[in-house]
Amino acid sequence: MTLTRHDVEHIARLARLQIREDQLEPFAGSLSRIIDFVEQLGSAATDQVEPMAHPLQGMVQRLREDRVEASDQRDLFQQNAPETAAGLYLVPRVIE
């Protein structure tokens, strides 16, 4: 197994994902199979190859002028928020 329970706990912490105790072992197994599977990329000769980040080669990122376009839609957007008060998003106390 490439990844251990401990590795899964560490990755889950980085990704801010709670993983139940009884799921650590199954995830270690399936993630190991995936990592073992992608290891075959090592067989490709890529010394002189440029990495490809997106498929539109030769195109440059379009920029726009920095001017206000969108209107204030705070109330509309906050209809989807789990908890708000006075137009603010509420979160648990961060500073004691």
Partner 1 sequence: MTAAELGRALRRREVSSLELTDHFLARIEDSGTRLNAFVTVTAERAREDARRADAEIAAGQGGPLTGVPIAHKDIFCTAGILTTCSSRMLANFTSPYDATVVEKLTAAGTVLLGKTNMDEFAMGSSNETSYFGPVRNPWDESRVPGGSSGGSAAAVAAGLAPAATGTDTGGSIRQPAALTGLTGIKPTYGRVSRYGMIAFASSLDQAGVLARSAEDAALLLAAMSGFDPRDSTSVEQPVPDYHAGLEAPLAGLRIGVIREFFGEGLEAGTGAAVTGALDQFKRLGAEVVEVSLPALPLSVPTYYVVAPAECSSNLSRFDGIRFGYRCESPRDLYDLYTRSRGEGFGDEVKRRIMTGTYVLSAGYYDAYYLKAQKVRSLIAADFQRAFESVDLLFGPTAPTPAFGIGEKVDDPVTMYLNDIYTIGANLAGLPALSAPCGLVDGLPVGFQLIGPQFSESRLLSATHAYQRETDWHRRLPPAWA
Q: Phi-psi bin for 86: left (phi > 0), alpha (psi -120 to 50), beta? A: left
Question: Given the structure tokens 């993983």, which residue do they identify?
Answer: 19
Q: Binding partner 1 by CB under 8 A: which of 1, 4, 25, 83? A: 83
Do the Cβ atoms of 10 and 28 come closer than 8 Å? Answer: no
Annotate each residue in 1-30 with x if it binds partner 1 (CB under 8 A) or - if it does not, as one string. Answer: --x---xx--xxxxxxxxxx--x---x--x
CB of 16 to partner 1, least distance (A): 4
Print the SS3 string covering 22-59: HHHHHHHHHHHHHHHHHHHHHHCCCCCCCCCCCCCCCC
Residue list 33-72, contact with partner 1 (CB under 8 A) = 33-35, 37-44, 46, 49-57, 59, 61-62, 64
Contact positions vs partner 1 (CB under 8 A): 3, 7-8, 11-20, 23, 27, 30-31, 33-35, 37-44, 46, 49-57, 59, 61-62, 64, 73, 76-77, 79-83, 89, 91-94
